[in-house]
Each structure stands twice: as structure tokens, then as C-alpha cells.
Amino acid sequence: EVAAGEPIYSPEDVGVYVTSPVKCDAAITIKGDSMIPNYHDGDVVYIKCQEDVPEGAVAVVFLDDEATLKHVYKRKTGLTLWSDNPEYAPLVIEFEDYARVRIFGVPVGFTRMFKSDPLKGIRKGFKKN
């Protein structure tokens, strides 16, 4: 699991194998709403592992043993992590505050599982004349 909000504990040695619709190195489940409208709570995001990303790219970032999915902006003394959801303030990460800060990888696709029927309430079929 990876946070779309405050970083959450995410040990790297825990996981399961999944069948992916895209070529990827890892799959994570989103928890939270900070990356709405692009990523929603419960989405499975497929990650290509890489240690660096272009400025502003969305990436999974580990802060010690916690992980988050955000846009990454680099500074000399750390990173600034931005959410897609404007209700969340940027996270300013100082390297000196963590034993280890690293970029894990970038999304290459995702699968969305609807928690309720998206067509509920919509009349099905055609109206007869």
C-alpha cells in the first residue's frame, strides 16, 4: 500500500504477485484521496522502478519505511511533494529529517475497482415509443 495523503508504513519485503495488464516491476494499492482526480482510494497502480524522475513527475517516494505517491520537485536540501488534490498542502521533505529518502518508481498504469455500481440510478435499456 502507498499513501495518497500522509505517508504510511510500507515494508518492501511484503507483497504478493499479481497479473498486470502492463509491463511493470511492482503494484501498489492507493490509500487516501490526495491524488484525486487521477488516482483514487483502492486503485491498484503499476510501477516501473527507477531511482530518478523528471521534475514534476508522479512517483512513489519512500521516506524511511513510509511511502507516498506524489509529484516530485527536487531542492538542494530535500524534496517538495505535491498532491493533485488542491485541498492538500505540499509536503516539504528535508533530507536531514530522514535516514533514507528515495524515489522508488513511476506509475505506468492503474486498475480502478469501483466500490459501488457506477451505473446505479441510471435507467437501463431503451424507452419504448
Active-site annotation, residues: 34, 70
CA gap 99, 115 in Å, rounded: 37
Start-end of H helices in 4-120:
none
Rounded-to-integer distance, Cα 23 and Cα 21, Å = 7
Q: Which residues, other chains included, contact 46 with Cβ-Cβ below 8 Å and sequence gap of 6+?
A: 20, 21, 22, 24, 26, 27, 107, 108, 109, 110, 111
Query: Per DSSP, what are the bridge partners of residue 30?
Result: 2
